[in-house]
């Protein structure tokens, strides 16, 4: 498969190789958008869960562009894999101004670095990663376009019945992690105001991979007969490949000041409905605990849909793939999203 389209999607994802191939297969729209974009692409913080497939996706969509992945690369195998895909790599501690200053400065930057888990217990490092690093990067890459990954967690919990937070909802989240993410957005906004930098702030929903993510967790619990917690009863999610594509396509929708953009599937997912859908596929009765709150960390994806159209992979397809993946005991990262947390402590 060379170009991703709804009618070319497979019925199942056989293994990790098939999954990663699909996650990094570009759509025609992405190919066209990147072709119109001048300059090369740096992906800062490339070694997280979404970064490697995003960098590979960029390289496959725009083979003539240099795609440069930057991270500390504490796991050397990620670096080797990126190189094998044609993604150049540079090891760099983004907290070190001198190292950041020495990086090449292509016209396009996707900023993906961030810290969430372990915040409670080492709050200063989270603030440094989520506020200071953006400030350092925004200053060093003032002449580039910067698409920065933010999170739906900058919003307050909003009533599910209202369709989720729109981009103009006032940010007011609980906890140090989420507020440090506001600090990240503010640091990019500030630098854009000082330097005239163009950018976009991507408030990303839960990305869905087969190996981790809210669907993986809910499916695994249902299959194991473990209770599914409904206190967080509703979720915003999006296929990781669609998220990567929309993030890259946002490079063509940058402006100063940088405006936020919700990147999420058009619909809000019900945890109960997801569990029931997995239960049907596994032929087990899901066990629930607690009850749905009226509010959740959910957001409205109307603006992204207007810019990019609907995601290529629907929630229904993700459910099918995830059920099949979990039923066959395919790999898991073993890294829970902790989507059920409601007090902001990660």
Judged by the rule CB under 8 A, the positions of this chain that interact with another protein are: 97, 123-128, 131-132, 135, 156, 172-173, 175-176, 179-180, 182-183, 186-187, 189-190, 193
Q: How far apart are CA 149 and CA 15, in angstroms?
A: 28
Q: How many CB atoms lie within 10 A of CB 199?
A: 26
Q: Estimate the share of the chain in helix, then strand, then coil, as percent rounded to the nearest 5.
A: 40, 15, 40
Judged by beta carbon, residue 132 or residue 202, the one nearer another protein is: 132
Instruction: Judge whether 150 and 201 are in contact, CB under 8 Å.
Output: yes
> For another protein, which is the closer residue by CB, 169 or 314?
169
Both structure tokens of 81: 């894999």
Residue owning tokens 């087969």: 210
Q: Which long-range contacts (CB under 8 A, 24 or more apart) does 137-140 make?
A: 137/44, 137/94, 137/100, 137/109, 137/111, 137/113, 138/187, 138/188, 138/190, 138/191, 138/192, 138/195, 138/197, 139/191, 139/195, 140/97, 140/100, 140/101, 140/103, 140/105
Nearer to another protein, 92 or 125 (CB): 125
Smaller CB distance to another protein: residue 192 or 204? 192
DSSP secondary structure letter of residue 152? G
Task: Return the number of the residue (328 or 345) whose C-beta is nearest another protein.
Answer: 345
Query: Among residues 138 and 222, whose Cβ is nearest to another protein?
Result: 138
Minimal distance, residue 128 CB to another protein, in Å? 4
Residue 186 CB, nearest distance to another protein (Å)?
4
Secondary structure class of 255 (helix, strand, coil): strand
Pinpoint the alpha helices (H) of the chain.
Answer: 16-23, 28-35, 51-61, 76-84, 97-101, 123-127, 133-140, 176-195, 214-224, 240-249, 271-282, 302-308, 315-327
> Nearest approach, Cβ of 137 to another protein (angstroms)?
12
* Shortest spacing between CB 123 and another protein, in angstroms: 6
Q: Closer CB to another protein, residue 124 or residue 196?
A: 124
- Greatest distance between any 2 Cα atoms in the chain: 58
**Is 176 or 242 the residue whose CB approaches another protein more closely?**
176
The CB-of-333 to another protein minimum distance in angstroms stands at 28
Task: Give min distance, CB of 251 to another protein, in A.
Answer: 22
The CB-of-150 to another protein minimum distance in angstroms stands at 14
We find the least distance from the C-beta atom of residue 189 to another protein, in angstroms, to be: 4
Answer positive or negative: Cα dihedral of 273, 225, 331, 323.
Answer: negative
């Amino acid at each position: 498969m060379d170009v991703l389209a709804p009618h070319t999607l497979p019925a199942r994802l056989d293994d990790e190789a098939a999954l990663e191939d699909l996650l990094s297969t570009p759509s025609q729209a992405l190919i066209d958008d990147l072709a119109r974009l001048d300059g090369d692409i740096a992906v800062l913080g490339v070694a997280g869960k979404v970064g490697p497939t995003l960098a590979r996706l960029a390289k496959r969509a725009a083979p003539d562009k240099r795609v440069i992945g930057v991270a500390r690369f504490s796991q050397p195998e990620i670096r080797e894999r990126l190189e094998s895909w044609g993604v150049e790599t540079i090891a760099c501690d983004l907290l070190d101004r001198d190292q950041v200053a020495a990086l090449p400065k292509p016209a396009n930057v996707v900023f993906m670095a961030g810290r969430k888990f372990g915040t409670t217990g080492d709050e200063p490092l989270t603030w440094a990663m989520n506020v200071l690093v953006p400030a350092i990067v925004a200053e060093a890459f003032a002449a580039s376009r910067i698409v920065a990954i933010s999170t739906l967690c900058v919003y307050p919990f909003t009533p599910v019945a209202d369709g989720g937070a729109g981009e103009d909802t006032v940010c007011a989240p609980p906890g140090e992690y989420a507020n440090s993410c506001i600090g990240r957005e503010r640091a990019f906004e500030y630098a854009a105001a000082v330097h005239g930098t163009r950018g976009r702030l991507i408030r990303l929903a839960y990305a869905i991979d087969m190996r981790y993510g809210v669907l993986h967790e809910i499916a695994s619990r249902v299959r194991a007969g473990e209770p599914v917690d409904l206190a967080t009863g509703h979720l915003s999610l999006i296929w990781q490949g669609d998220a990567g594509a929309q993030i890259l396509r946002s490079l063509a929708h940058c402006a100063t000041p940088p405006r936020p953009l919700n990147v999420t599937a058009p619909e809000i997912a019900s945890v109960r409905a997801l569990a029931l859908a997995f239960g049907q596929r596994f032929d087990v009765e899901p066990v629930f605990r607690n009850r749905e709150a009226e509010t959740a960390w959910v957001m409205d994806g109307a603006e992204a849909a207007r810019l990019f159209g609907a995601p290529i992979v629907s929630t229904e397809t993700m459910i099918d793939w995830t059920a099949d993946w979990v039923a066959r005991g395919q790999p898991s990262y073993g890294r829970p999203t902790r989507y059920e947390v409601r007090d902001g402590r990660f």
